[in-house]
Structure 1
């Protein structure tokens, strides 16, 4: 039997204030005076001097602020790559992503597309990337998605929402500074935290489960329960625990897979532009049939944190629109195999998915 030989993030710094070590970490990685570092930063930090003043630019280093109002698109990756090629004299020394899951995914995708020909959409799938990415660093400013540790970069393309899943995707360096997450709005904190929780539920109850995945998943799930069922934690404790829950949750799916909620939320994202965290929550709320205990606990967490999910987002969709979402979801074969098993097509039909979407 042949086992998957997965790469992991090769270097990680953890600790409050560790963001201050960024320039010291990057210095030895600079290829030349003409090879800049390119910082992709969530534009929510555009006027945030507390973050931007701590980034030391040298030579031709550039900051590009990016709006995260929409999910990352393959066309956005292509445009960024083109801009970077036009503004730099040589291949950059590295790409540094500072933000939530969307920015981290863009940083991973851009670093891959700077060394691989064609368009980002050509690489949506599993193990299609031929050349190693340039050096890339991930600095999460919100916890939950697991994007800082995963080997995928989730993108919406012209025909599908699917990640660039490859051995070249994981970051070379991650800085986990929980202090950077201190200003995350309450609802966003909950949605991305639930993304992490749902990773665990889907991984731990899947047919792909193995001891590697289970070990990480168990730790992440325990941290999620401490965080979301107990509101007596200090802010600092809460931030650090969610950061580590996100890391372990991301690791738990490295050797397994996610499941029904993720497959169906990809459909919502592609058609309606629903962001990943909230999309997972909207779907998961209706999945008692697949994850009875997980959904029961999720509803309890919603109640404790007084979170109301949007209702009726699929109420006025046409049959054609339902079909688009259903086809996106059905194409995610490994997710369904993990959730249901090899014979998943016997139970997961277009009719079944339509009934579920109609509840949302």
Structure 2
């Protein structure tokens, strides 16, 4: 048998205040004065000088503020790439994403599309990217998505919601500075943290599980329980631990796969624009049949943090709309195979998914 040779983030720096080293980290990668660094920054940081004043701009470098109201679209990536090609005479020295999963996915996708021809939608899928991306750096400002470590980018295309899964997707450098997560609103902290928790449950209960993904998944799972159920942690400890859980959870699914909650959440995201973290929560709340212990723990965490999830978001959808979501979910075959096994199609039918969606 042949074994998959996985890429990893080649360099990572961790610690409170490590963001201040960004300049010395990226300076050696500069390809001259005409080749800028492009900083994609979550627009919640507009006017927040405690972060923006520390971005090391020089020459033609540029900050591009990105709205995270919606998940990134393939058309949006095409527009961002085109604007860089039109504005600068030389290809950027590097792309730096500062924000949550959405911003990091945008940074990863743009860095790939600057070296690969065609439209972004042509690369949605597994191992379709031919050329290495340009140098790209991920700096998470919220913990849980695992986007800082994964080999995918979650993108909504004209036909489906699916990532660019490739060996060229992972960042060349990641900066994990827990201090950057200090202003995250409570509900967002919970939803994104639960993305990590669900990664662990789906990886540890999946048929693709191996010793490598298991060691990361078990560690992330333990940290999530500590962060969301233990009252003894200080705020700083909680920030640091959740950042580590996110990394380990991301590593766990990088070497295995996610499952039912993610597949169905992609359907909600594609049709209704439900964001990934809260989408996972809405779906996972109804998956006792697949992950009984995990869902019980999730409900405990939800109660402890007084989180009220939206109810009945699918009840007024017509059959055509439900079919769109069902088809998006069913197209994610590796996720179903991991969750249910090789014969997943016998158990996971459109009728079954319709019943589940109507509960949400």
Aligned match of 2:342: 342
- Distance (whole Å) between structure 2 residues aligned to residue 80 and residue 250 of structure 1: 26
Q: Deviations over 1:127-153 (max 9, x none)?
A: 000000000000000000000000000
- Residue 28 in 1 paired to residue 23 in 2? no
Q: CA deviation at 1:348?
A: 0.1
- Distance (whole Å) between structure 2 residues aligned to residue 248 and residue 138 of structure 1: 16
Q: CA deviation at 1:232?
A: 2.6
- Distance (whole Å) between structure 2 residues aligned to residue 318 and residue 7 of structure 1: 43
Aligned match of 1:111: 111
- Distance (whole Å) between structure 2 residues aligned to residue 84 and residue 193 of structure 1: 33
- Distance (whole Å) between structure 1 residues aligned to residue 235 and residue 119 of structure 2: 42
Aligned match of 1:308: 308
The alignment yields a C-alpha RMSD, in angstroms, of 0.4
Q: CA deviation at 1:117?
A: 0.3
- Residue 212 in 1 paired to residue 180 in 2? no
Aligned match of 2:196: 196
- Residue 19 in 1 paired to residue 28 in 2? no
1:148-227 map, 5 Å: 148-227=148-227
- Distance (whole Å) between structure 2 residues aligned to residue 134 and residue 187 of structure 1: 35
Q: CA deviation at 1:86?
A: 1.2
- SS of the residue 1:161 aligns to: coil
- Distance (whole Å) between structure 1 residues aligned to residue 303 and residue 55 of structure 2: 40
Q: CA deviation at 1:307?
A: 0.4
- Distance (whole Å) between structure 2 residues aligned to residue 56 and residue 189 of structure 1: 28
Aligned match of 1:279: 279
- Distance (whole Å) between structure 1 residues aligned to residue 263 and residue 242 of structure 2: 24
- Residue 244 in 1 paired to residue 272 in 2? no
Q: Deviations over 1:244-292 (max 9, x none)?
A: 0000000001111000000000000000000000000000000000000
- Distance (whole Å) between structure 2 residues aligned to residue 69 and residue 313 of structure 1: 18
Q: How many residues align?
A: 360
Task: For structure 1, list consecutive stretches of 5 or more residues without a partner in the other structure.
Answer: none
Q: CA deviation at 1:56?
A: 1.8
Q: CA deviation at 1:89?
A: 1.2
- Distance (whole Å) between structure 1 residues aligned to residue 216 and residue 232 of structure 2: 25
TM (norm. structure 1) is 1.00
- SS of the residue 1:289 aligns to: coil
- Distance (whole Å) between structure 1 residues aligned to residue 119 and residue 70 of structure 2: 20
Q: Deviations over 1:287-338 (max 9, x none)?
A: 0000000000000000100100000000100000000000000000000000
- SS of the residue 2:312 aligns to: coil
Q: CA deviation at 1:231?
A: 2.6
1:346-357 map, 5 Å: 346-357=346-357
Aligned match of 2:327: 327
Q: CA deviation at 1:218?
A: 0.4
Aligned match of 1:269: 269
Moved over 3 A (4+): none
- Residue 37 in 1 paired to residue 37 in 2? yes
Task: For structure 2, list consecutive stretches of 5 or more residues without a partner in the other structure.
Answer: none
- Distance (whole Å) between structure 2 residues aligned to residue 153 and residue 64 of structure 1: 19
- Distance (whole Å) between structure 1 residues aligned to residue 107 and residue 331 of structure 2: 25
